[in-house]
Each structure stands twice: as structure tokens, then as C-alpha cells.
Amino acid sequence: MRAWQQVLVAALTLEERGESPFTASALVVEAWRQFPDKFGIDGMPEHPSDNRVICQLSGHRGLVACGYLERTAPKTYRLLPDGREAAQHALGREIKPEVASESPERNGRLSKAVESDLERMLDSMAVQFHKLGERSSIKFEEACKFWDLRATGDNVDKRLSRATEVLERVTDDHVLSNGRCVSLTEVEAAHKAHDWMGARWAARLESMKKQIQNQAN
């Protein structure tokens, strides 16, 4: 059983004891109680290591981003359906087929090109600023990086349509071929940024299209 699965098993144990939502501290202790060799401090397995558990929760590949856990408040979490299923699977429990079919890991794979475009948009500074509510910090250059739009020689409509197409391909939480977990919430945030930037710089994009057309003539 891998570390992230062990954390989910600990979360499931807390839930089944009626402790949901649960604190990060409760999760650390439960994970250590069940798996002291994995979640104990080096050389002192009788003491739990906060970092070894918390690192499984955070980051773009963490259990929260993957849609297995939800952060309900600072340092407080609850188990989501996909996390519950993954924990039950790790324990060898029988899972109802209709529930199992909903797991994002069973979704059809995206093409490499779509994955590449999706990651570029999700990781863009434009999306990060938009999520933080700092729209005024988004420069047109950042929007162009989001769309992979060069200053000259690009088909503007094609690039914007491509962004919409890629974002609409993801209709649920998804695991990319490189192992990165992409949540639907992330994609929806990117879509909102895409729509906002398209409206914000509509006139400038139209001007770019005219310049390109003039260069082609």
C-alpha cells in the first residue's frame, strides 16, 4: 500500500468513527497509529511525523487536488467519494460497480497535446492571479502565454477556440498520464479566467486579427 493510500485509509477510519470533518492533527495521529513505520519520525517511530502526512495532502498531486479529500476549513478536511472508494480499494473491500465507475482514474485518457495545453493553462500566472482575485495584475502578455498566442503570425480565433476546446474536454476530476491529478475545480477556475481575459482584451485581440490579416495580404 502506498503512502497516499495509507493516508486515505486513516481518513476512512476517522470517518467511520464519526469524526468527519477531521483535523489535520487527528489524521496525522491516525495515519501514524496504523502505519508507524511510514509516518513515524526517523529513528523515533514512536512519535508521529506531521510532515510525512501533510505532504500527501498538499500540492498539485496531493489528495486535495486529486479530489480525494476536501479542505473544509484551515487544517480541517473531509473524505470525498473518490477518496472513500480509493481507501476501500486499498483495504480490499468490495466496491459497488456504479460507484467505481465514477472514479476519475477510470476516465478516458486525454491526448498528449491536450494534456500539454491543459497544464500550460492551469499553471499560467494569469490563472493564479485570477484565482487570487488579483485580476488587475494580469497583463496582456500573461493572457497570451495562457492562450499560447504569439504577437504575430497566429490565428487568434483558432488559439482561443483551442483553449475553450481543451478546457471543455475535462468534465470531471482527471489523472494525467504523468500522474498529475487535475480537479474539475481547477479547470473551472481556468475557464473563468479564459472567459474574463477574452472579454477584457476583446478589442486588442480584434486588433491583432486585423494586423495578421493585413500581413497576409
pTM of the prediction?
A: 0.50
Instruction: State which of 5-14, 76-85, 101-110, 142-151 shows the largest mean pLDDT.
Output: 5-14
Domain residue limits, the chain:
3-103, 107-216
Contacts 24+ apart (CB under 8 A), 101-107: 102/172, 104/66, 104/67, 104/172, 104/173, 104/174, 104/175, 104/181, 105/175, 107/172, 107/174, 107/175
3-103: what CATH class?
mainly alpha
Quick check: 217 and 170 in contact, CB under 8 A?
no
pLDDT digits (tens, 9 = 90+) for 62-94: 888 888 898 888 889 999 888 888 888 888 876
pLDDT digits (tens, 9 = 90+) for 157-179: 888 888 998 898 888 888 887 77
Whether the pLDDT of residue 97 is over 50: the answer is no
3-class DSSP assignment, residue 79:
strand
Residue 189: per-residue pLDDT: 92
Q: Mean pLDDT across the stretch 116-139?
A: 91
Quick check: 97 and 15 in contact, CB under 8 A?
no
